[in-house]
Structure 1
Amino acid sequence: MNERRYYSQPGGLPGQTELLSSKAVFTTAYAVIPRTVMTDIVTSVLPFWTQTRAWMLSRPLTGFSETFSQYLMEVGPGGGSDRPELDPRAEAAMFFVEGEAVITLSGQEHSLRAGSFAFIPAGSTWTLKNNGSSAVKFHWVRKAFQAVDGLEPPPVLFAHEDERALSPMPDTDGKWATTRFIDPDDVRYDMHLNIVTFEPGATIPFMETHVMEHGLYVLEGKAVYRLNSDWVEVEAGDFMWLRAFCPQACYAGGPGRFRYLLYKDVNRHANLW
């Protein structure tokens, strides 16, 4: 199997001689936040987190994401939080891209490293610590859990990408495949956080248009993405938000694999306002 790589180098500041032009774009159908704008000056600090900063890639906002927020977290040595989540409605899906951390939940410690995944149900009491000598970096997706009367809440889940087999899309000869951390048939979960992998030359051969909202963070490689009526070139470290029903397609031009972390809301009726 090819060595897995997870982009994890945000921060810094462009030099004074750099051009102002960028592929950053914000529309009512989609947004592209390239890695070049994820600098030191756009980070946030969070209550009850120490030695930590966050790049907030999406948040519920009129004309922007409606179902989730997504942070790229950087926790320095000795840092972390005893009160990481202040909203009892919020469930968490996390994917680690660098360093090693320990999450303590219900008195049990779980060690996480690059490639680790964690799902923490809403209302849980948990902590996260970096006991190592280098920074821990991870994606943190927060969503208000949609409970269903008569359906038990989803259980906690810890896993690693190495433990999950690639699920190829039909009729693609394995060139387009998905790593699923949550069973897609388990309706207790109202969100998924997957890894999508394209081999060089693979494509989404039609304009997907569907009810799921997406957050996509490119972990590896580069590709050309069709978003609504535009073609956008993206690479490792770029983030895309796609509104529900935004037409989308992709061509992975290579030379290496193209892989991204994909959020989507699933398994619930549409809200009726």
Structure 2
Amino acid sequence: MNGPEIHVEFAPELGMFVPPARRTGATAVVTDGVSTLGHVVESLGVPLTEAGALVVNGRPVPVSYIPAAGDTVDVRPVERPQQVPGAPLRFLLDVHLGTLARRLRLLGVDAAYESTDIGDPALAARSAAERRVMLSRDRGLLHRRELWAGAFVYSTRPDDQLRDVLGRFAPTLMPWTRCTACNGLLQEATKDQVADRIEDGTQRSYDVFAQCAQCGRAYWKGAHHDSLEAIVERALAEFGS
């Protein structure tokens, strides 16, 4: 670039996306005079999904703003809880976030998940077609223009990932209402209705069942119920309405 010089400062929360030299204070950036501020921010490493308000010389501007020489830019983090206008709040998770997807479904959150790597273009297209917030740790994917909306998942630990997403988007929690396998809705079922999907010992030990209206999977309060219930209780205690 060989054009107007501006000074850009990133909020500490965005430091992981930029080189160390740009993590403290405002630093000089030479622009080309025609690119938008949104393009400049992304070229410096920050996906626009993670940028909140863009403040130029003390006033908020849109991502389409063309920086001028001498501008001082403050790139702020996304405000929490983040509002996603235009569609019911629902998510799409990439192949690396299977545990997070199952935990969101456990809490009744609409969370589609691709268990195979279908590629960034296909994920972005699905996000747009179904108006789902793309959750990923792939920065390149979050730079794609086709996305309906997106968010970087900051941690590699499922507990922290879940806390991050719930804190950022504040989805309505309705535990035990979705299939953790396919994201379909659960409905009450009698023992006879699910008898062909459970073992004899389970039939003798349990009387309360549910089944997925989409894939037919049967559910009951089995050996892992206590650990799952602990996840639900922690989420409701911290993020339940």
Q: Normalization by structure 1: what TM-score?
A: 0.23
Q: Which has the higher contact order (CA 8 A, sep 6+)?
A: 1
Q: Normalization by structure 2: what TM-score?
A: 0.25
**Greater percentage in helix:** 2
